[in-house]
Chains A and B, each alone.
Chain A
Amino acid sequence: MSDLPRRRALLAAASGIAALAGCSGSDSASNSYPSRNRSIDDYELEHARDETGGALFAQGDSLPSPPSDARAPQRRRGRRVLTGEAALSELTFADAPAARTLRSFCAATDFDAASVYLLAMPVGACREIRFRSVSVERDELANGDLHPHADFCRAYRPANVDCDADETHTVGFAIRLPVAADRSTGAGRGMAGSCQGPAGRPEVFNGSVTVDGSVTTPNGGDDA
């Protein structure tokens, strides 16, 4: 342990915390049914809505120009995994309240112990996107590579919200994961058309019975 760099040690520790948290999660590992993804339960979430429909952040020094076509979705989309200050400094945020909210949240992250999965996407003015769950790929994380996957769903905004069905807004999510990593070479996102039904898959019972009666500790996998 002593010859491990501090960051790698934190990575291992953070992963262990995630593992324990994940034991009760929908994708948690069991002794018998290992899962590729580990659900993260102790994340922190910030989300914001920009009713002008502009881009919230972009890689590089400038934001894409406002879309002339109100429905052009690609300019409102964004997805970045921030594993350090450097990754954050490479982003440009819009000068808008929603973007400032996201940037403040990202900037307040201790990247020695955590990472941020940052997403932006377009949404109809009368609808909303809800965050459902987040998981990470355990094998990649064991190698210091954070591959998060976030699941969302689409819903109507409340019926008493005055909105124009033809307008498009932008929503952003910043998910702080209690996992330090050296890098991130991939990320995923799922979107359900409806928010009805339970989020995620049914939980797996993580038993610890042995034939000789000895006590084992559910280890949640091989990356702790």
Chain B
Amino acid sequence: MTPRRTSRRRLLAGLGSAAASALAGCSGLPVGDESGPDQPPVSLATDDIGPVAWPESPFPVAVPGSLADAHEARARALLDEVPTEPSIPNEAVAADLGSDRERAASGIDRAVDDPWPLGALAAWRRRRERAATVRGAYRAATGDGDAAAAAERRQAVRADLRAFEADVTYRARSTREAVLAYDPVESLLADAERHVRPTPAYPDDPVGEPFRAGEAVGHVETARATLDDATGLREAYLAERSGTTARWTDVAAAAEALGGSARRTRGAVRESLSGVPSGDDLQDTVARELLRETEWIVESRIDDIDGAMDRGAYATAVVAAGRALAAIEARRAAGEAIRDGAYREPVTRASVRATADRARAAVADIEEAEAPRLAAAFGRPALDRIRYASDLVEDGYGSVVRVRALLVHAVLLARSAPAAATFVAERL
């Protein structure tokens, strides 16, 4: 097996794409091409953002390595069935199948550097899907495609998915652990549901449309892999905990109440932010970008709560509510600072570095929270923003104004996460 899982020591030493980029010495930009006339060009490198030590994963027990191992073994077995130079009369199909196979194979051999084990599992599922897609296309192209078998497999995964969903009663040692353990399970179930849909349909003539056949096969493979991971996570949690009881009622009630809290808090903060300048008065400033960003994420998180409630994913709804509360608090803090005149000055390299330092410190404080795992779950959007800012710099895309606004937002989200976690924990 290839090296793929990072130890906690390495994780805390700062893996993640930001760190990886920095270590690789990647420098990007001059960023600033899309900034306004008041913003002088600023040259940034990923080193200016630097590595970020992610807090420990919110999942309450260790994720079994056997889950990733199963994906890797399956992916390799699938690819083994496809020759490196497929012999197919249509040369274009043969060439593209060959290059797809090569990409899938090289993907399997790359190390997975996602800081959280569930992220690494997702990476392995994607690799398994690519391998299944190639194998499915190859079989179709060589006349071995079987529409009936493909439909049967899809239906079998769907039936298993329904059975598993019906069996989720949020058995856990506490309501808090139920949220932490079943939020990823519910996310996996939702993902499996998306992949088990009969679109794209397996073609009636697989030889005529081998790549569509491959895509259909790949989707079903991912649905199966995702359901396997959901099953494995639940089993892993229950194996490590004794005295678990069903928490469905408690988690659902908490989700309902916390969703209401998020909406009421949003209303209160909206009211308190009267007098904040409009975007028109803040052209080309970090303030404008920050206002836009903080407003958007609040609405998005509220939508996440509603979506999760609608599909009965109550643990996901609780996490969404916690993220919404952190986002609303970040919105309030940003709005008040902007009302007081902050974030209007041009961005400099020094200001980006200073903001990145503050983001790093705020993320580090998540581990000191009263409810650190919940805080990590609620602080995840901050980590994503730091990573995104680093990607923008590495790719030379966007503007320094946007990069700094993302980092400021990350600071505020990370600082808000511990308090939001305490608020939620007290209500679970």
Contact = CB atoms under 8 A, between A and B. Distances in A.
A158 B200 contact: no
Contacts of A124: 92
A155 interface: yes
Nearest to A162: B89
A71 interface: no
A69 interface: no
Contact of A163 (B91, B140, B141, B143): B91
Nearest to B210: A159
Nearest to A164: B91
Contacts, number: 50
A157 interface: yes
Given A156-B210, A158-B205, A158-B207, A163 B89 contact: yes
A103 B79 CA distance: 49
The contact size tier of chain A is 10 to 19
B139 to A, nearest CB: 11
A160 B92 contact: no
A156 B90 contact: yes
Contact of A159 (B142, B200, B215): B142
A72 to B, nearest CB: 20
The contact size tier of chain B is 20 to 34
B208 interface: yes
B337 interface: no
A126 interface: yes
B200 A161 contact: no
Interface string A145-163: 0000000000111111111
Contact of B211 (A126, A156, A161, A163): A156
A156 B92 contact: yes
B77 interface: no
Nearest to A198: B199
Contact of B93 (A126, A164, A196): A126
Nearest to A128: B208
B135 to A, nearest CB: 14
A36 interface: no
A6 B95 CA distance: 57
Contacts of B141: 159
B102 interface: no
Contacts of B143: 160
Contact of A160 (B91, B95, B96, B207): B207
A214 to B, nearest CB: 39
B212 A158 contact: no
Contact of A165 (B95, B142, B200, B211): B95
B212 A159 contact: no
B92 A163 contact: yes
A77 interface: no
A164 to B, nearest CB: 6
B88 interface: yes
Given A196-B200, A196-B212, A158 B92 contact: no
A79 interface: no
Given A159-B140, A196-B212, A126 B92 contact: yes
B114 interface: no
A124 B92 CA distance: 9
Contacts of B96: 156
B146 interface: no
B250 interface: no
B91 A159 contact: no
A156 B91 CA distance: 10
Contacts of A159: 88-90, 93, 140-142, 207-208, 210
A41 B212 CA distance: 26
A74 B143 CA distance: 36
Interface of B: 88-93, 95-96, 140-143, 200, 205, 207-212, 215
Leading 6 A-B pairs by shortest Cβ distance: A126-B92, A159-B141, A165-B91, A162-B89, A158-B208, A159-B93
20 contacts: A124-B92, A127-B92, A155-B209, A156-B92, A156-B209, A158-B205, A158-B208, A159-B88, A159-B90, A159-B93, A159-B141, A159-B207, A160-B88, A160-B89, A160-B143, A161-B89, A162-B90, A163-B89, A163-B91, A196-B200
Given A160-B88, A163-B92, 13 more contacts: A126-B93, A155-B209, A156-B93, A156-B209, A156-B210, A157-B92, A159-B93, A159-B208, A160-B90, A161-B89, A162-B89, A196-B212, A196-B215
